[in-house]
Amino acid sequence: MARFLIVEARFYDHLNDMLIAGARAALKEAGHKVEVLTVPGALEVPGAIALASESGEYDGYVALGVVIRGETYHFEIVAGESARGIMALTMDGLAIGNGILTTENEAQAIYRADPAQANKGAGAARAAMALLALREKYA
């Protein structure tokens, strides 16, 4: 049994609730322990994972959140930089599943977040579990 930390960028409550439900169910179904940490936005997710990793308490991480395109360039910065930060941590050996949705509109986000539809929260949890298994295999 491994310990996973879900780090969620709490901006769209109803969408995050669906993502967390999917991720939590996938991790618990696999027999893992789960905790949730909330940060203000997607840009804070990589930093929070980096800080939490220093504790040595967690075996893997699931990054969750929703970034919906707006009328400014801010969408590109948030989407790109949060993904870049998560990828950098993954390349450093952390097992992270990236479930930060980047969509054009809320309808796309609902479809992807909903456990009864695309269930991207569970997908991110499965990715984290797969990376943890690879890390253990090659340790």
DSSP code of 115? T
**Dist. CA 46–CA 118, nearest whole Å:** 24
**Spatial contact of 94 and 53, defined as CB atoms under 8 Å apart:** yes
Nearest Cα to Cα of residue 21 among 100, 116, 101, 111? 116
**DSSP bridge pairs for 35:** 5
- Determine if residue 81 is labeled as part of a ligand binding site: no
- Determine if residue 20 is labeled as part of a ligand binding site: no
- Determine if residue 11 is labeled as part of a ligand binding site: yes
- Determine if residue 96 is labeled as part of a ligand binding site: no
- Determine if residue 66 is labeled as part of a ligand binding site: yes
- Determine if residue 134 is labeled as part of a ligand binding site: no
Q: Is 74 a catalytic residue?
A: yes
| Catalytic-labelled residue, pool 3, 28, 33, 74 | 74
**Spatial contact of 19 and 5, defined as CB atoms under 8 Å apart:** no
- Determine if residue 43 is labeled as part of a ligand binding site: yes
- Enter the tokens of residue 135: 């890390």
Tell me, rounded to whole angstroms, the distance of Cα 95 from its chain centroid: 11
- Determine if residue 136 is labeled as part of a ligand binding site: no
- Enter the tokens of residue 57: 């308490």
Catalytic residues: 74
Binding residues for (2S)-2-hydroxy-3-oxobutyl phosphate: 71-72, 112
Binding residues for 5-amino-6-(D-ribitylamino)uracil: 11, 42-44, 66-68, 98
